[in-house]
Structure 1
Amino acid sequence: MNKRNLYISVLCAAFIFSSCKKELLNPTPQTSVAAENAFDTEFRIESQANSLYGSLKNGQLYGGRYLVYGNVRGEDFINETGNLVTASDVWSLNLANSTTSVKGLWSQGYLTINRCNVFIDGMNAKGTAVVGTEKGAKYIAEARLVRALTYYSLLQLYALPYADGAGSKPGLPLRLTGITGPGFSDQARSTVAEVYASILDDLNFAETNLASTNGSALLNTTRAHKNTAISLKTRVYLSMGKWAEVITEANKIVPAVAPFTASANVPNALVADVTSIFKAPYTTAESIFSLPMTTSASPLDYPGTQNSLASYFYFTNATPGTTEFSLNLSGIVADPDWKATDARKSLVFTSAAAKKFVAKFVAPNPYTDYVPVIRWAEVLLNLAEARVRSTNSIDPQALALINAVRKRSDATTTIAPGSVSAFTDALLQERRIEFLGEGLRGPDLTRLLLPIPAKGSAPRKTATEAGYIWPISSDELSLNKLMTDN
């Protein structure tokens, strides 16, 4: 990462809640505060806590590009523009250390991690004494959840999957203390397993210390609570192939039988209309954690044209423009089991030229659609997959879970695979349909060491080939003498 991003001040990019509507995550400028005074008041602490979410939702990270990269690495998208700035090289699996995507995601990822570290250090040194032990632990839990999610996201691209050597391969530099001045660049890579252990330690702390509910649909969607941490742990353990642990975590909140409404904390549940998840107010019971966008331009509170999901994936005949990626007509949209009557087909737009595009993110410039991080449907499918893989058999709950997701959009279809392999194939197909455009396909392929299929002119890549994972940012390699490349 470059020096500007590595050495940050305690209050860089601070965001605060609106004084008249405290539920709105609406960043506004704030007068600079000296580092030694940054944790003097609860107002300043709250401002910094909100800034961590703001850093996570930057367009270079979860505000757009991380999801874009997870989408286009898979086989369901076709590049329309050949623009290297907007991920054509990610799509073609042909990346260099100095490319925009490699450098930008790494830089914003570690900037976010460092902001979390600086905040945690400040809370431990001073802030908790200001707000009290319980509230201080909650603030730290939010920071640790954001840090965990960021490390997890970087692992999916810059390191070999856990399944390759049980996590023994090189992972990431594991930076867990704040950097506020020069001289701290050199750090060797921890193993993949060590980074995952840190992620889980953060999420376990978050589960213990976050609120059971944040008190409103908006804050239960946009700010972390206990179910956020538990749900993310099901994703993390699934990525590690630790099926029993996925089941243990999911069982904390998923009932044994339908209806599968969360049994604890926020009553997360599948909503009847899947399309409502992607429309205002974006705060359905299914939305465990999403990142809000507003029209505020000072400071910028939306992802920007070359970062937003709508600008990458959506096209209409009425407002044509440059759309970076269409759907692969030989991909999941061609699946005969995805019926035209399935409600999720309404989230696919067909242009006059007979090209198809994702229509989940449709807000025009300045692109204020909320970005989904994790949904209840994913938790249900994570549990279904883990139950089958853990015993190599199909049980009634696994069938009920996958059919709960399918039938809420297509009541005419029942998934009834006759073998374990048929079930896992159906499960992965269901994930491709349900989360199309939400960035999960790339990580699903790599966590299972599956080849990344060819699409258009982009070649097939196996887990042993260059391009299956990303090279390390040239900025990190130039600043960190202990860093090694992939």
Structure 2
Amino acid sequence: MNILKYFSLLIALAVLSSCAKLKEDPGAFITAAEYYKTKADAVNAVNAAYFLLNSGGPSVQTPYNTLFATGMDFMSDDIDPGPGATNADVRSQAVLNHSSTGLRVLQLWQQHYAGIKKANVAIDKVPEIEDAALTDALKKRLIGEAKLLRALYYFNLVRLFGGVPLILHDQPGVTISDFQIARNTVAEVYVQIEKDFTEAALALPDSYTGVDIGRATAGAAKSLLSKVYLTQGKWTEAVAKAEEVTGAFPYASGSSPYRYDLFADYAQVFLPAYKNGKEHIFSAQFKSNSLSQGNNQAPRGARSGVPGMVGSYTDQVRFYTQGTDKFFSIYKLYEANDKRKKNGSFVTRFLGTDGKWYGDLNDKSIPGDSIPYLNKYWDPNQSSNLSESAANVPVIRYSEVLLNLAEAENEANGPTAKAYAAYNRVRERAGLTLLAGLNKAQFREALYLDRRLELVWENQRWFDLIREKDASGKIILEDALRKVGKVNVSVPKHLLFPIPQQEIDLNTKLIQNPGW
């Protein structure tokens, strides 16, 4: 069953149940023990674990559909909420005034654990299903998918909150009051993440056909595992695992054993017509004109009635903007000839010769200079409902694997031929001069900037700010945020989110993060 169709069914049932009171026969409900019997049950169990990736629509707030964007991206040095963003929780988090009682902090914790629970159910139940139609090969694949998803969700949690409780099996019948579990260490969580990604890579296919396109693959598991190694500073392991995805040096087009490659045109990465293409290793899947399957980040970043702006004048901004003209934000960091500047990430558009800039769907003029709008998830086929954009959100794509490889190689061995080869493939596609002759610190600084420009608005910047270090070994978060006026940033406090107070109240063994 197509994973998006599965969620349509779940949401439709939820809508129906909220609109009518039914006379319920308790004996008519199917228990967990009774449910997991068929091939379809096995597939649906794994489909359920994708929900953090595939829930969409205007009313949905999940990590890959606006929670990361309105959370960590707003907290970063790239984007701030403009006057049109009236949600108090969003605005407080953007200036690092979030707290352990904030709704989005709670949602990030609860939704990741909900995804982990669903993955655990699949991992526990699928092996027990005896159905001739459910082959051993399909069982292996489905369990591999669930393990990849569990690893991804724990990877997000450990970067957000630090050490978190490792729950690796479903706990049916356990009440909240009974469920008391302490936090595992960061190291213990990473051991499990590495284990799950490694086992997933062995179980998953290289690719899919038909309705299964977009599901987790062996290449996705290896790409994400390389990123896990990079995040921990395991440089040699990160390079080796990335090379299993890219193929051997010099990482030329066509060298990937998984047939991954860069699109010739950066804009193709985000156009729905090219979704799940050769650059897309693993993505949150969205679909337009369907019940709650659309990418809701489009109206928050595209040329719409609530324009997404990245640093301009306050009378011209609505939702996503730096809010002032002091930096013009990330847009000014692009070189003039960088193809990513106006060919994918942003749009600036003039009509006629009147000197006015036009940017909303009705081509209404906005007086003043040409101002950039974030444009990555705008769906050209969705002129009436931008909340149902069909544009996927990358979890990891091939250009990031190349950048990860280049960074890890530079940190391990300096700017070697390997590091340049991987990095320059990304620069070449952007139309930029190929780099050479840099020392280790210069290479690191250049790559950090290109990573920021390449992956803007892809839920990456905050995680990079708390990971990347300057030449002295200092994490760059504090200096980067102070440059854009976020003077209340505090390290080490803001390297982690607070544990939600509601969770601490329920589980007294949870200890709050320092400073919160």
**What TM-score, normalized to structure 2?**
0.79
* Structure 1 gap ranges (5+): 1-15, 160-170
CA distance in 2 between partners of 1:119 and 1:369 (Å) = 28
Contact 1:68 1:439 (C-alpha < 8 Å) held by counterparts: no
Q: 1:285 aligns with which of 260, 278, 281?
A: 278
Superposed CA offset, 1:94-143 (max 9, x none): 11111111011111111111111112111233368872332212111101
- Across the aligned residues of Structure 1 and Structure 2, the Cα RMSD in angstroms comes to 2.7
Matches within 5 A, 1:332-481: 332-335=330-333, 338-346=335-343, 347-350=345-348, 352=366, 353-354=368-369, 355-363=371-379, 364-391=386-413, 393-410=414-431, 412-448=432-468, 449-452=475-478, 453-454=481-482, 456-459=484-487, 461-464=489-492, 466-481=493-508
Secondary structure (helix, strand or coil) at the match of 1:63 reads coil
1:10 alignment counterpart: none
CA distance in 2 between partners of 1:25 and 1:415 (Å) = 47
CA distance in 1 between partners of 2:143 and 2:238 (Å) = 24
Contact 2:301 2:307 (C-alpha < 8 Å) held by counterparts: no
What is the percent sequence identity of the aligned residues?
26
Contact 1:17 1:47 (C-alpha < 8 Å) held by counterparts: no
1:74 alignment counterpart: 76
Shift of residue 330, structure 1, vs aligned partner = 4.4
Residue 157 (1) aligns with residue 173 (2)? no
CA distance in 2 between partners of 1:413 and 1:178 (Å) = 52
Change (3 A) 1:200 1:318: closer
1:484 alignment counterpart: 511
Change (3 A) 1:458 1:421: same
Residue 200 (1) aligns with residue 228 (2)? no
**What TM-score, normalized to structure 1?**
0.84
* Structure 2 gap ranges (5+): 14-28, 56-60, 309-315, 349-358, 360-365, 380-385, 469-474
Secondary structure (helix, strand or coil) at the match of 1:325 reads coil
Q: Which amino acid aligns with 2:404?
A: N
CA distance in 2 between partners of 1:313 and 1:450 (Å) = 26
Superposed CA offset, 1:179-208 (max 9, x none): 333334211000111101111110001000
Superposed CA offset, 1:146-169 (max 9, x none): 11111111222212xxxxxxxxxx
Shift of residue 269, structure 1, vs aligned partner = 0.5
Q: 1:313 aligns with which of 293, 296, 301?
A: 301
Contact 1:26 1:296 (C-alpha < 8 Å) held by counterparts: no
2:223 alignment counterpart: 231
Structure with bigger RCO (C-alpha 8 Å, 6+ apart): 1
Contact 2:38 2:131 (C-alpha < 8 Å) held by counterparts: no
Shift of residue 250, structure 1, vs aligned partner = 1.1
CA distance in 2 between partners of 1:71 and 1:339 (Å) = 24
Contact 1:68 1:309 (C-alpha < 8 Å) held by counterparts: no
Residue 27 (1) aligns with residue 8 (2)? yes
2:62 alignment counterpart: 60
Number of residue equivalences: 444
Which range moves more in the overlay, 288-297 or 401-410?
288-297
